[in-house]
Amino acid sequence: MNKQHTVRVELAGRGYDIQIGAGLLAQAGSLLGSFLSRPRLVIVTDENVARLHLSALASSLRQSGIDSESIVIPAGEQSKSFEHLANLCDRLLAAGVERNDSIAAFGGGVIGDLAGFAAAVLRRGVAFVQLPTTLLAQVDSSVGGKTGINTPLGKNLIGAFHQPVSVLADISLLNTLPEREFRAGYAEVAKYGLLGDSDFFDWLDANLDALMLGDAAARLYAVKTCCEAKARIVAADETERGERALLNLGHTFGHALEAAAGYSSNLLHGEAVAIGMGMAFRFSARLGLCAEAEAARVANHLERAALPASPKRIASKLRGAAGLMKLMRQDKKAQAGRLTFILARSIGGAFIAKDVEEKAVMNFLEQELSSP
């Protein structure tokens, strides 16, 4: 089996490669050199990644004659704020980043979204490379060019589409990821199977233990398959006018649950997405769109991955069905009292359902929160 894969994101004039492999960080200097206008790179990272992996990255760059400087941000979702963005931009300018320079986002989705957005606005846009270090970032957030920050009114409400010029996903970095973060990222892996690839879902069902236990070949295959799916969807619909919305499977329910839990460590993004995907399939079954057995299979798989599949898990944080409904209306996908959901006819058969009636959603939420 190959130890390394390259997946191409085809975008006219802005296409790029995602390189995936074990131990790629050691080759970062040679893999990134051609993207730099001069042999210098400013790395944006967080405290945890800096402690564990920054020296390896810096020394790989040095071996290829590339000087680096790093800017270390506090770890956690709180860093996706205006305050941290302003501070980061000032530090990038102070580090002498010019219009032709590139910066590197070295971390999970928080660093990718924040540093990517800084790259989008700094000097009206500088190039950036993604070096994702979490499972979530390797299969989802580092690919596709969505960047941004949160405001008190909600997640990702300020942002820009800004594609990276290259993505290097070193799956060995996942070995230091806390198990709970790995499992949360796994929810987004399962999402690709659930939304459009039942064969991949079958493969995940059969290889779940290997993935969780750190089998490198299984992880490589999973990350590659997810990146291929995301690359294909992004190439077809870069700015989410249509098909890209399928990647939001589980996210309308999930974002409301995250908001209800106060965007805290009570409920990680991937955990909220897992519950949301469980709900999306049960809701689809309730509407007669998909078989109950499919919804049960989804819940069973998520539970095997030690992920929650029911909102009752955080019931104490929710203000009932009405409270959840209110939060869902605030989500950016709500329009004129009608909600857009990603529903499914089967595992692998998700579709965009516009105009879902609030009343049907409300009845479903009441049932979800009350059933034993």
Catalytic residues: 124, 146, 188, 230, 240, 244, 248, 251, 255, 269
Neighbours of 1 (CB within 10 A): 6
CB 186 within 8 A of CB 270: yes
* Contact flags string 257-276 toward ligand NAD, x per CB under 6 A: ------------x-------
Q: Is 48 in the site for ligand NAD (CB under 6 A)?
A: yes
- How far from the centroid of its chain's Cα atoms is residue 178's Cα? 17
When the beta carbons of 154 and 349 are compared against ligand NAD, the nearer one is 154
From candidates 59, 156, 207, 346, binder to ligand NAD by CB under 6 A: 156
Among 107, 164, 254, 278, binds ligand NAD (CB under 6 A): 107
Q: Which of 21, 29, 108, 196 binds ligand NAD (CB under 6 A)?
A: 108
- In the bound state with ligand NAD, the residue whose beta carbon lies nearer, of 188 and 368, is 188
Q: Which amino acid is at 184?
A: A
Which residues within the stretch 112-131 sit at the binding site for ligand NAD (CB under 6 A)?
113
Q: Which is nearer to ligand NAD, 110 or 167 (CB)?
A: 110
- Chain Cα centroid distance, residue 164: 15
Pick from 41, 137, 295, 339: which binds ligand NAD (CB under 6 A)?
137
The yes or no reply on residue 110 touching ligand NAD (CB under 6 A) is yes
Close Cβ partners of 360 (under 8 Å, ≥ 6 residues apart): 287
Q: Which stretch binds ligand NAD (CB under 6 A): 104-112, 197-205, 323-331, 349-357?
A: 104-112
Work out how close the CB of 322 gets to ligand NAD at its nearest, in angstroms, rounded to a whole number: 26
Q: Pick the closer one to ligand NAD by CB: 68 or 141.
A: 141
What is the 3-class SS of 159-199, one letter each residue?
Answer: EEECCCCEEEEEHHHHHHCCHHHHHHHHHHHHHHHHHHCHH
Beta-ladder partners of 41: 68
Q: Which residue has the tokens 């499977």?
A: 249
Instruction: Give the orientation angle of helix 269-286 with respect to helix 179-196, to 10 degrees.
Output: 30
**Judged by CB under 6 A, which of 111, 257, 295, 344 binds ligand NAD?**
111
Instruction: Kindly give, in sequence order, each residue whose CB lies less than 8 Å from that of residue 247, ignoring residues fewer than 6 positions away.
Output: 140, 191, 195, 230, 233
DSSP type of residue 137: I
Under 8 Å between Cβ of 125 and 162 = yes
d(Cα 266, Cα 28) in Å, to the nearest integer?
Answer: 35
> In this chain, which stretch among 8-16, 70-78, 198-206, 362-370 interacts with ligand NAD, using CB under 6 A?
70-78
Q: Does 52 bind ligand NAD (CB under 6 A)?
A: yes
Output Rg (C-alpha) for the chain, integer angstroms: 20
Draw the binding track, 181-210, toward ligand NAD (x: CB under 6 A; -: no contact): x---x-------------------------
Closest CA to 297 of 140, 190, 186: 190
Residues that bind ligand NAD (CB under 6 A): 46, 48-49, 52, 75-77, 80, 107-111, 113, 133-134, 136-137, 140-141, 144, 146, 155-156, 173, 176-177, 181, 185, 269
